[in-house]
Structures are given as C-alpha cells and as structure tokens.
Amino acid sequence: MDINFGIWSLIPPILAVALAFLTKNVILSLFVSLFSGCLILACGNPWTALQTTFSDYLFVDMTSGSNAQTIVLMAVIGGFVALVEKSGGARAFARAISNKLTKPVSAQLACWLGGLAIYFSDSGNSLILGPIFRPVFDKLKVSRAKLAYILDSTSSPVCILIPITGWGVYVMNIIATQYEEIGIDGSDAGTFMQAIPYQFYAILALVLIPVIALSKKNFGPMARSEQLALKGLTEEQMKSEDAIVVEDDKEVSMWNMLLPLIVLFIVIFAMFIGWGWPTHNIAGSKIRIALTSGYLLAAITCLIMIVKQKLMTFQQAFDIFVGGIQKMGSILAVIVVAWGVGSVCGTLGTSTFIVDSTTGTLSPALVPGLLFVIGAVISFAIGSSWGTMAILLPIGINMAYSFGLDFPLVIAAVLSGSLFGDHCSPISDTTIMSSMAAGCNHIEHVKTQLPYALVAAAGSFITYLIVGFADMSAAIALPIAIVVALVLYFLCCKLFVKKAA
C-alpha cells in the first residue's frame, strides 16, 4: 500500500507544471519531477535518489508488460505514418476530394472531411492537407487563418477520439496502469470507448467547423482575416510560399493510402473476432497485439506498393520506415518519463492526499468541470496534452474512485481539458505545424482560433457541470453540449456578425 507523504507529495506534479511552463521542455520537466519524488523517498539523499530514479522507476516502467507493448506499438505506428505520408498516397487522397471545389463553403467542408479521413497522425493531418488546400483557399479568397483553424481542429481532436491511434493507445496505457495500481478489475479499452461520447471538447471542435462554414459567419480576429483575404494575399503570405516544399506526388494513387488502411482494419478485426469480439471483452494487451500486427502489415503493404510502383527503391522506403520510428523517439521519451512520474506520485500518495484534502470541501459534482479547467491551464502552459494527461489522469482516476464517480466521465474531462489547452497554446507543436502548413502567420493563427476554441471549451465546461449535478448519460449529455456550443456561437455572431463571401 502506498504511503501518504502529505503535502510533500505535491512537489513532483507542481515541479512538472512549473518547469514545463518556464523551460517549455516537457521531457526535462518530467525528469526533474521524477527525480524530486525519488529525492523525497530517499530522505534528501541525491545519490540514492539518482539510483532509485532508474532502478525502481524508469527501468521498471519501461519493461512492464503493457508499457513494453506500448513502446513497440508506438514505434511501428511512427514507421507506418512516415511511409503513408512520404509515399504521397495520403496527399493523393486529399487531392482527390478537392478536385472540383469552386465555392468557399465546399473548400472548407472538403478540408474538414479530409481531416476526418486522415485520422492516424495529428502532425500528418496538417502537413498533408495544408499544402494541398492552401492554393484552393487562396483561389477562392478564404483566409489562411481559416485554413490553419480547420487543420488544427481536425488533427488532435480526431486522433484523441479513435482508440487505434497513438493517442488512444497512450491514454489506454495510463488507464491500465492506474487500474492495476488501484486494484480495479476493468478494461482500459472499454473505459476509453465509454469515454468517447463524454469528450465534449474534441467533438464540439469538430462539429463547429461545418457550422461555421455553412453559416458563412465569423467573429473576432477571424472576421478581419476573412475580409483581408477577399482583397488577395498579403505580402507576408506571398513570401511564405517558399516556406513549405511539397514533393512531386509522381501521379501517386490514393490507393497508396487506402489499401494499407484496409489491410490494417482487416488484420485488427480478424484478430478481434478470433478472440471472441464482439460478444466478449478483449484485454488491453491483446488489443495492443492486434494493433501492432495490423500497423506492421499495413506498413509492409505500403512499402511493397512504393517499390512496385518504382516511387522509391526498397532501401529508400525502408529508411523512411526507420526514420518514422526515430521520429517517435521524443514522444516515447515523454511517455517513459511520464510513467515514472505517475509511479512516483503513486508511491508518494499524491492522489490520496489530494482526494483526502478535497473530501468534505469539494462537491463530487464539481470534479469533472474542475479537472477540465485544471487540464486546460496546465496544457496551455506547457504546450503538451500528452504531458498534461500523464500528470492529471492518475489524479483524476483516483478521485473518481474515491468519490464514486463515473470513470469514463472523469477521464473524458481530463482529456478534453488537456486537448483544449494544447489546441490554443502558442508553443504547442500541433498549433505551430498548423500555421506553418497553412502558410499563416503563427500569432495570427493563435489569435483567430482562440475565440472559436473558447466557444467549444465553454460548451464543454457548462455541460460537465450539468452532467456532474444531474448525473445523466452520454446519450443525453452530448446533444446538450452541442446545443450549448451552437447557442454560444450564434450569440457571438449576433454580437459581432461578419459574413464571408
């Protein structure tokens, strides 16, 4: 049983947040946080703390069954994503749906649909769609700020809703680890699936895009950007044309993306059915086996197509696969150190202390809304939803357990808050890549996106409060969230109406 170190147990998570805010370096911040926890356990002995950091946490967490599976799976996903992006198949697919776009509304909706289709990579989404839709938006005089907003709002929000992406695997791993520590006999995959309809921010961010496009109404800084776009490209935008170099697709077919994805789903569902799905629940470990197998065979399929079509040599294609694995290095580093922080906080009794401190003073009904706000603040400050989830999910799950709250609801509140803060943060990698891919000034993208993101966030927060007090199901709560967000959006439009052409 974990020992409660009282207020000292708050030092690691506070350090993680404070240092991430000051240094903008999530890995360094999490490592210092982990070391500080070990220093407390070692009664201030830095030599013992250094050894404990590796022997009892990093090495142990890396080699545990589910964590080792996650590392391998994330590496394979990285290789697959790199192959699909570099082969030109994803870009060919996006181009196929944008061929006959003659109106601003249809261009925005096509970009939105493309973002929904390219679900497997938050960064790939922007980098693939941005260069394709940028000339379309320019031709139709839709602002690049609007393009950047659509790219940013269909990257992470899509990935976090799908269990077979790196995002889903990462979240399920944290859930599995916490369930094991608490002693809960539950399915991490099942919990994640049940949390999907409670992820109000991700869903509202996606719902607002077609509403904004079809209504042709804008408010705030976005309205000004849209009006400037009607006058043509600015000098700064024309200079940015050389900022992104788009490789020649060599007449690549969209099947270079579709066929590997078909293989991926066939392998995954064939294994699921073999294990008794849908009549039996599948363990998280088996799901990771199916995902790893599916992504590997999909990558092999993509590699074979690349070589057969003479787009690249085998060695070039294989080097791209390995390069994709290497690009996952920084993400894997965050994951591994985050595991260590979660474990040391468990040993220190951080969650227990927070729950004990709030028991009797905090209404359980306020927990989802509070976690949403805290997640948003942390994520905005450090520019990382993954780092925020690593810090906050263990605390949220323990609070749900102690207060007797619905696990999917509390987990979804943490995920939504983490996503919202990351979505708006100027130091977030997805925010930076969205503005870069759209050829939009980065600060302009942040300023124009923020009011729309706040609409989705306000709708989410209000609904979390309603659900917390009314204890309603997701089937009722989600429509309420959508209605609240739409009312807020049209209210803003009523106050500051700017109609696009």
| Segment 351-407, tens digit of pLDDT | 667 666 765 677 888 989 999 998 888 787 666 787 788 878 888 898 888 888 899
Residue 486: the pLDDT is 95
Which of 372, 337, 394 shows the shortest CA–CA distance to 462?
Answer: 372
Q: What string of DSSP letters covers 260-309?
A: HHHHHHHHHHHHHHHTTTTTS---HHHHHHHHHHHHHHHHHHHHHHHHHT
Number of domains in the chain: 1
Residues 6+ apart with CB under 8 A from 452: 149, 153, 208, 212, 220, 222, 489
Residues (pLDDT < 70) of the chain are: 1-4, 21, 24, 65, 90, 93-95, 97-99, 120-125, 127-128, 131, 232-250, 281-284, 351-352, 354-356, 358-360, 381-383, 427, 429, 497-501
Q: Please state the three-class secondary structure of 201-260 as a single string.
A: HHHHHHHHHHHHHHHCEECCHHHHHHHHHCCCCCHHHHHHHHCCCCCCCCCCCCHHHHHH
Residue 2: the pLDDT is 47
Does residue 1 lie in a domain region?
A: no
Q: Which neighbouring-strand residues pair with 499? A: 217
Does residue 234 lie in a domain region?
A: no
d(CA 13, CA 392) in angstroms, rounded, equals 9
Does residue 241 lie in a domain region?
A: no
Does residue 393 lie in a domain region?
A: yes
Does residue 107 lie in a domain region?
A: yes
Does residue 2 lie in a domain region?
A: no
What burial class does residue 333 get, using C-beta atoms within 10 Å of its C-beta: 0-12 exposed, 13-18 middle, 19+ buried? middle
Residue 466: the pLDDT is 94
d(CA 111, CA 154) in angstroms, rounded, equals 9
Does residue 349 lie in a domain region?
A: yes
Residue 257: the pLDDT is 80
Which tokens sit at 468? 């917390």
Does residue 428 lie in a domain region?
A: yes
Structural domain for 149, as ranges: 11-40+51-56+59-228+248-499
